[in-house]
Amino acid sequence: MKVLGIESSCDETGVALYDTERGLRGHAVHTQVTMHEAYGGVVPELASRDHIRRLVPLLRKVLEQAQTTLAEVDAVAYTAGPGLAGALLVGASFAASLAVARGIPALPVHHLEGHLLSPLLSADPPAFPFIALLVSGGHTQLMRVTGVGAYELLGESLDDAAGEAFDKTAKLLGLGYPGGPQLARLAARGRPGRFKLPRPMLHSGDFDFSFSGLKTAVLTAVRKQTLDDAARADLAAEFQEAVSEVLAAKAMAAVRASGMKRLVVAGGVGANLRLREQLNAAAAQAGVRVYYPELELCTDNGAMIAFCGAQRLLAGAEPACSGVFSVRPRWPLQELLQPG
């Protein structure tokens, strides 16, 4: 079965073709980062309009990569939420139109389930069950995953997501958008410890997180004195250290509590090298293996949506009626959950 995946929830347009027999056959992403840069964040209306411009060229490129045609595609999966309403509607209507034109099913997919399953696309995928740490721009969650569709939420951020904290802190340090990768680059030149930031909820005894206080602590440090470049790098390094330490400690605590031996990390912040170092070190000590998506599949892409749609269809998911589509800008993953 060949499934086309369409992603347009935020500022990346992604199209991909996943074949349940032959794996990922084509995958292309256009990022709008340079377009939104001037505004310091995503402008929803600009995002929607750009998705419209990009989808057809990306689809052509993917079909060419896969050396196939639309006539060979068996189903279309699209991100139905959560995300920006207008942006989601562009992808959903595009997917539904393709499906009507070809007489094939269109399946709505939950964006976070896409992220969650993305490590299964790597060359050496994890087997079920595993603990998943989902760290993206809008979400920070620990989940117990026993199969496709069998997710139990163990804990999540009570305020800012990890990626959001990276982005906001980067802004405070005078860096551009998106801040996560830029903050990581600045941090690489600095040393943690010179500034002392809290490790929020490290000993809270549950699997929840809180990152908004860290951002405030950085703001206080920035306001107190003019920081030269070296000091900014040290502050960035301390921030990255604090976030990574809490994420790694809580993820490992969840793994220990579950008795499982596999930890899966997904979402954009999973690309952070310091976080990976901390996770890998803690996991090695505990005899646990950590799995990551391919680096290019950490942030938003169509491959994870195509893959997730394919898994759902294999598991007997009912696609929407022909030509009918809807999006859910707010869509808690819990509403998709079944007890594992």
- Interface contacts to ligand ATP, rule CB under 6 A: 10, 111, 115, 136-139, 163, 166-167, 178-181, 184, 267-269, 271-272, 299-300
Minimum CB distance to Mg ion, residue 78 (Å): 17
At 190, list the tokens.
């600095």
273-286 and 179-187 are packed helices; what angle lies between their axes, rounded to 10 degrees?
70
Residues 181 and 176: their CA atoms lie apart, in Å, by: 10
Q: Among candidates 126, 134, 130, which has minimal Cα distance to 110?
A: 134
81 is in an annotated binding site: no
Window 299 to 318, contacts with Fe ion (CB under 5 A): 300
Residue 16 Cβ vs Fe ion, minimum distance, rounded to whole Å: 14
Residue 30 marked ligand-binding: no
- Was 301 annotated as part of a binding site? no
Neighbours of 129 (CB within 10 A): 17
136 lies in the binding site for Fe ion (CB under 5 A)? yes
Judged by CB under 5 A, which stretch of 257-265, 274-282, 297-305, 325-333 contacts Fe ion? 297-305
CA distance 288 to 276: 14
271 binds, among ligand ATP, Fe ion, Mg ion, none (CB under 5 to 8 A by kind): ligand ATP
Nearest distance from residue 122's CB to ligand ATP, in Å? 16
Q: In whole angstroms, what is the distance from residue 334 CA to residue 139 CA?
A: 13
Q: How far is the CB of 296 from ligand ATP (least distance, A)?
A: 11
Q: Is 137 annotated as a binding residue?
A: yes
Site map 226..255 versus Fe ion, x via CB under 5 A:
------------------------------
Q: Does the footprint of Fe ion cover residue 113 (CB under 5 A)?
A: no
Is 167 marked as a binding-site residue? yes
Longest dimension (CA), the chain: 64
Asked if residues 239 and 255 have their Cβ atoms less than 8 Å apart, the reply is no
CA distance 112 to 24: 19
Cβ density class 97-117: b for 16+ within 10 Å, e for less? ebbeebebbbbbbbbbbbbbb
272 annotated among ligand-binding-site residues: yes
Q: Is 118 in the site for Fe ion (CB under 5 A)?
A: no
Q: Does the annotation list 19 as a binding residue? A: no
Question: For helices 212-224 and 229-258, what crossing angle results, to 10°?
Answer: 160
**Residues making contact with Mg ion (CB under 5 A):** 10-12, 300
Residue type, 78: Y
Degrees to nearest 5, angle at CA 125 with 9 and 290:
90
Which residues form the interface with Fe ion (CB under 5 A)?
A: 136, 300
Residue stretches of the annotated binding site for substrate: 134-138, 167, 180, 272
Residue stretches of the annotated binding site for Fe cation: 111, 115, 300
Residue stretches of the annotated binding site: 111, 115, 134-138, 167, 180, 272, 300
